[in-house]
Chain A
Amino acid sequence: MNGSDGGTCVLRARGLRKEYGKNGGLVRAVNSVDLDVTAGETVAVMGPSGCGKSTLLYLLGGLDRPTAGEISLGGQRLDQMSERGLARLRRDAVGFVFQAFHLMDELTAVENVELPALLAGRPPGAARKRATELLDRVGLADRAKFLPTALSGGQRQRVAIARALVAEPQVVLADEPTGNLDSAATVEVLRLFDQLHAAGQTLVIVTHDPRVAATADRMISMRDGAFTDQTTLRGGTTGRLGTLAGLEG
């Protein structure tokens, strides 16, 4: 499954496999997956629950180690990296957005956003400045000093997205980013993803929500740990909006 246009390949996986258990109880969560993601692309991976898409995402982000196969991010091989190297990667090159937000409840919004920068060893002043900028970019500048418990679901996820952007990552990986959100909050987040895409950010989103998948440039179907289908969503449609709404055309 190759990338659609030319352009630099940011993320690349070959023969990726992740297995749990052994012999009779072997579970293939990810079964021989090949993937290329070019810079600036938004890729959506869709599939029913339990198909292994979250596992795949965690493998791509270096949060988990594959049983077999290679992964390259920005030219570096993840599967051969040490834990320290992976940690460095996670703070410099990859941004994660989780379904459950995973914000620290005892930190304010801006403290949550600056955390990866602090972990990377950047000076506190610079980290704070960058965090404030990003909160402004996601439209939450007035809520910087709020605790997560004082924010709505959509706002919390936007804070999480800002946190993922702190290190100017090469790719943002999102695991069911709208899973815990109602439809209004989902629209907020989708709008944000759209803005990021327009700014050239590479996104890989795992979801079972078609609205989220529809925002992508490329949609990949996944079932039982393997890719089954791929679509480029850019470009023409066969129906017109009028027909969809019941107007005779």
Chain B
Amino acid sequence: MGKIVLVARLAFRDIRRHKAQAVLLLLAITAATTTLALGLALNGVTNHPYLQTRALTNGPDLVAGYGVRLGVSGPGSGPTAVSAAQVQADTRTLTHLSGVTGYSGPYPVASVIMRARGLTVPVQAEGRGQAPAAVDQPKLTAGSWVRPGGVVIERTFAEALGVGVGDRVTLDGRPFTVAGIAVTAAAAPYPNCEDTNCMFTGPEMGPRAASTLSTLNVGLAWVTEADARAMASPRAPLSYILNLKLKDPATAPAVANRFLSADGGPGGAIAQGIDSINTWQDISTAAGQLVQDEQGVLRAGALLAVLLAVASVAVLAGGRMAERTRRVGLLKAVGSTPGLVAAVLVAENLAVALAAAVAGLVIGWAAAPLITNPGAGLVGTAGTPAITPATIGLTVGVALAVALASTLVPAVRAARSSTVSALADSPRPPRRRASLIALSARLPVPLLLGIRMAAGRLRRAVLGAASIAVTSAGIVAVLAFRATVGRDLGQGAGRIGDPVVTRDTQMLLVVTIVLVALAVLNAVCTAWATVLDYRRSAALARALGASPRQVSAGVAWAQVLPAVPGTLLGIPLGLALFLAADGGGQVTIPAVWWLAATVIGTLAAVAVLASIPAQIGTRRSSAQVLQAETA
């Protein structure tokens, strides 16, 4: 027990003495744990708001779309309308399924092109009556319900378009006024409407769609039944939507399965004309797409942040170890076992890591509501995500693991070192690399100094390169994301916002900022450690005739040189990262000049950041450093 108290006391006293280093360490690990906590907190946050919307709108358990056959006679052929008799028969089949306790519809759905605020977008216009429906009555969040010439637009879609109540739009060429904005649980919010029920039967979605439309995503809107029927045409026939309520909502997937054919497509055992059946669970998942994407991004970001944190802490720990050799020697000389010595060294870092874990959890818990806002398409907030014991455990565990992994090796080495040499406080001499020394002799002075400094502490140079690679990978992943999205969205006149993309971009931006902040920290730490290590050599170089500018340029070069392979390596790494996070889709390689700008920008940033500690370090007159050794 006494030993533990002793270890704790020594550790805390040492932290107090080196406050700046402890703060740096805290920042590095906190950034990683915050990202991790945020990612974990997002788990399972999706269902809540959807359930609220479902309750408010009396959402359906099953939604069936039918009345139109798409591309039945082969691709390129347009949709064919099903006969009215078939429609009636399908309706009866559906409403007489066992377990069905209520239904609304069938509602006619017209596929039209809407022009609003200079944008041209495909819309599925559902025809409704004035009276509230038994199942799925969309909840108005602004304005009033449909009327002749009045259209109600789904909320996320309206936000993406930028339209409000009272705006004038055209549907299928006819003028309409926006009568209201509403949310529904019968379809996923824009732009994922298509994943559930929005099928666009118009011809405009052909091969040249991208050039005429502002977006390929279909939006949802409601009009009067009469208006919907009026907008149908042979080219774009009406389809029908039927909302069903089941006695036991949990059985919805089982019921839907009976409509699937052997290969999982429509036209299965029960009814031939049914084009799509969606369960409320499907819609819920699609509605949560927004948050799921964010989760993926955050998880990838957290991984990168943790990697960077490990690198930063390793550099910090390595730098601190160099100063500690004498203290280690003292401890051993008065009788501490190597185990105790290592324990003290590791305990300091663990204590800081613990504090960082707590800070990360608190910040993550506070910031989670900001990003778990499920989007405009669902009513209700996600509520404060629960900090489960699992989250706490994992975050703390990761923080401790980071601290342990990066300090264990130096601590053990320091503890095993010879006591005598530790007391003499001879710092670990730099390694000699004859080829690099010979090479550097031919180069200008700053490069000469920089190469020799980097070669002397190769492990640190490699760590620096790895950190830069990780940061660069993050930036390249963001660029790849933007390039891919840019291609997907099409070149239509006026860009329409894709909420998922916007949120993803925001999330990526947050992650990138965290990564960049960590990388800055890392660069400063590495430069500071380098300056400490090379204080004597720098003073000597100045005594032998190098100017202060040459010396600080040398320190900067010592970091920029390893950063070059780092940034270059980050490009393929970033693309691979994007592919992994995107789920194996296609990746568009960002434009060459964007990549070049990333590389050059990163190197420039490294150089600038490295020169800050260098400037501060060389301010101390070299006479003092050199004399200190002789005293």
What residue of chain B has the Cβ atom nearest to residue A65's Cβ? B621
Contact mask for chain A residues 31-73; partner B; CB cutoff 8 A; 1 contact, 0 none: 0000000000000000000000011001001011100000000
Q: Does the CB pair B629–A102 fall under 8 Å? A: yes
A61–B543 alpha-carbon span in the complex (Å): 9
How many angstroms from the CA of A42 to the CA of B276 in the assembled complex?
Answer: 104
Provide the residues of chain B in CB contact with A58, threshold 8 Å: 623, 627
Take A58-B627, A87-B548 as given contacts and tell me if A102 and B540 are in contact as well, using a CB distance cutoff of 8 Å: yes
How far, in angstroms, from A96 to B550 measured CA to CA in the complex?
20
Contacts known (A64-B621, A100-B629, A102-B629); A107 close to B545, Cβ less than 8 A: no
For B, the interface residue count at a CB cutoff of 8 angstroms equals 32
A105 to B452, CA, bound (A): 12
In the assembled complex, the CB of B324 is this many whole angstroms from the nearest CB of chain A, namely: 21
CB 8 Å contact bits of A132-174 with B (1 = contact, 0 = none): 0000000000000001000000000000000100010000000
Check if A106 sits within 8 Å of B431, measured CB to CB.
Answer: yes
Which listed segment binds A: B102-110, B234-242, B441-449? B441-449
B130 CB–A CB distance under 8 Å: no
B546 touches A63 (CB 8 A): no
Are A90 and B543 closer than 8 Å at their CB atoms? yes
- Is the pair B623, A118 in contact by a Cβ cutoff of 8 Å? no
Q: How far is the CA of A117 from the CA of B19 in the complex (A)?
A: 42
Residues from chain B with a CB closer than 8 A to the CB of A104 are 537, 540
A130 at the binding interface (Cβ < 8 Å):
no
Q: Answer whether A90 and B630 are a contact pair too, CB < 8 Å, given A102-B540, A106-B430, A118-B445.
A: no
Specify which of A64, A92, A105, A116 is in contact with B623 (CB 8 Å cutoff).
A64
A111: Cβ under 8 A from any B Cβ: yes
Q: Is the CB of A90 within 8 A of B627?
A: no
Kindly name the residue among A83, A118, A127 whose own CB sees the greatest number of chain B CB atoms within 10 A.
Answer: A118
Residue B626 at the chain A interface, CB threshold 8 Å: yes
A63 touching B621, Cβ below 8 Å: yes
In the complex, how many angstroms separate the beta carbon of A39 from the nearest chain B beta carbon?
Answer: 22
Q: Which of A88, A98, A124 contacts B630 (CB 8 A)?
A: A98
**Contact residues, B438-486 vs A (CB, 8 A):** 441-442, 444-445, 448, 452, 456
Cross-interface CB contact of A106 among B429, B442, B547, cutoff 8 Å? B429
**B417-435 with Cβ < 8 A to chain A:** 429-432
Q: Is B542 an interface residue (CB 8 A)?
A: yes
Residue ID in chain B nearest A111 by CB atoms: B437
A91 interface contact, C-beta 8 A: yes
Q: For residue A85, which residue of chain B has the nearest CB?
A: B547
For the complex, give the distance between the alpha carbons of A147 and B545 in Å: 22
Given contacts A118-B445, A124-B441, are A54 and B627 in contact (CB under 8 A)? yes
11 new A-B pairs (CB below 8 Å) besides A84-B547, A91-B544?
A58-B623, A63-B542, A83-B547, A87-B542, A88-B547, A104-B540, A106-B431, A118-B448, A119-B541, A124-B442, A128-B441
Question: Which residues of A are at the interface with B, using a C-beta cutoff of 8 A?
Answer: 54-55, 58, 61, 63-65, 83-84, 87-92, 96, 98-100, 102, 104-107, 111, 114-116, 118-121, 124, 127-128, 147, 163, 167, 175-176, 179
